[in-house]
Amino acid sequence: MKINHLTSAEETLMRLFWKLESFYLKDIMEQHPEPKPHQNTVSTYLKILVEKGYLSTEKEGRIFKYNVLVPLKDYRNFLLKELLHHFFNNSGKEILQSLILENLIFEEDLKDFNLTIEIPPAKSKEPHFEYVNEILNPKKDKKKDKNKKKKKKKD
């Protein structure tokens, strides 16, 4: 099954649909948080999501019952693979390294997976105070700049 990208509005509705799994249009209108979209807007999105293969329909009398075809887990895996492909050169190691460096995952989290990874301490660069030095010692810096300019003119 090929999974297609969702717009942010479609994704927002799908989050609600994943919770409901099977629903009618009236269920969505009742469950949707404020501000509620117009029923025609939701109906249009339902049609689009059916076309994209995320939902299926069953006609029950005069109304349609919708069922989720793409589970949340499959969509998350699709997005993760896209992220790996486009930003991390298909490298799980690179994404894990990024998560660690950004403090989004910690050594304790990795212990749950029985992984033995040593995380090196973060290297901090010494701050460069060029602007502060310029403010504190304005005359010295100006003299140096003048001398540099004179040397350049002589050359």
Question: Using CA atoms, how far apart are residues 61 and 65, in angstroms rounded to an integer?
Answer: 10
pLDDT digit string, tens, across residues 83-128: 898 888 888 888 888 888 888 887 777 777 766 556 566 565 665 6
Specify whether 17 is located in the same domain as 40.
yes
Specify whether 16 is located in the same domain as 47.
yes
CATH number for the domain spanning 21: value is 1.10.10.10
pLDDT at 154 over 70: no
pLDDT of residue 96: 82
Contacts by 6-9, CB closer than 8 A, 24 or more apart: 6/52, 6/54, 6/75, 9/45
Poorest-pLDDT segment among 44-48, 88-92, 150-154: 150-154
